[in-house]
Amino acid sequence: MRGQERLIGVFNRWNRPSAASASDIHDALLDAIVVQDLPPGTKLGEELLVEIFDLSRRHASAALDRLGWERLVTRLPNRGAWVATPDAAEAQDIFAARRTIESGIVETLAQADPKPDFAPILAELAQEHVARAQGQFREAIRLSGRFHILLAGLSGHRTLADQVSLLVARTSLVVALYERPDAMTCWRDDHAVLLEAIGTGRVDAAVELMREHLQKLFDELDLTRRAGLDFDPRGLFRL
């Protein structure tokens, strides 16, 4: 397998990722999916996770079950688990859900009086600008997703914020599979413009900007193609 060529050395107590629970395994895999370090179709067997994280099969299985419930991993009885590979119909559903949910969140925030504290999101927006300017692709992806998650969190609706967090992760899988080679998703300044509209209470403009932003992301996909991916995650989790 080509992915085996990525293996360097042997896992030991000095280079193994820090994890003490199934939740830690889940969070590490989720973060890797969001920044597209862990591509769709990657095999994630329980034994492999035991090797990577030095925890029991029970912990590994619980982490995979949770990721499966979140539709980030596909588990097949007696065959194993893989990072999910959304098809074209699912990709369309994900973006339709995001347009509906996030437009509502933006409307709520733009109408709020007084406005919530935007300081945390402004700080991360500044980091996103730096990452884009320096060509730090994966960091820009992470911060771009974080913008939407933090924005949802400001709404005060925990359930909606949780849904946005999962939809952002699933979007990363879709982008990894279908993004056109010439797309420049992470390099726009849409977030700053959107935040300004929210902060000044321009409700209709803010809602339209969010819809346009998500539509741009969708338009940069080519759902008639799917990237060929072959990857061994043991190389990823080396410190």
- Whether the per-residue pLDDT at 158 is higher than 70: the answer is yes
| Distance of alpha carbon 104 from alpha carbon 108, whole angstroms | 6
- Whether the per-residue pLDDT at 185 is higher than 80: the answer is no
Q: Is 120 strand, coil or helix?
A: helix
- Whether the per-residue pLDDT at 13 is higher than 90: the answer is no
Who's near 117: CB < 8 A, 6+ residues apart? 154
Domains detected in the chain: 2-83 (1.10.10.10), 88-219 (1.20.120.530)
Could you list the beta-strand ranges (E) of the chain. 73-76, 80-83
**Backbone phi, psi, residue 13, to 5°:** -70, -10
**Backbone phi, psi, residue 73, to 5°:** -135, 145
Q: Which of 59, 79, 61, 57 is nearest to 69 (CA)?
A: 61
| Distance of alpha carbon 12 from alpha carbon 134, whole angstroms | 34
133 vs 44, residue with greater confidence: 44
Give the DSSP letter of residue 37.
S
Give the DSSP letter of residue 17.
P
pTM, two decimal places: 0.83
> What value does the mean pLDDT take over residues 11-30?
76
Q: How far is CA 5 from CA 2, 48, 204, 232, in A?
A: 6, 16, 52, 9
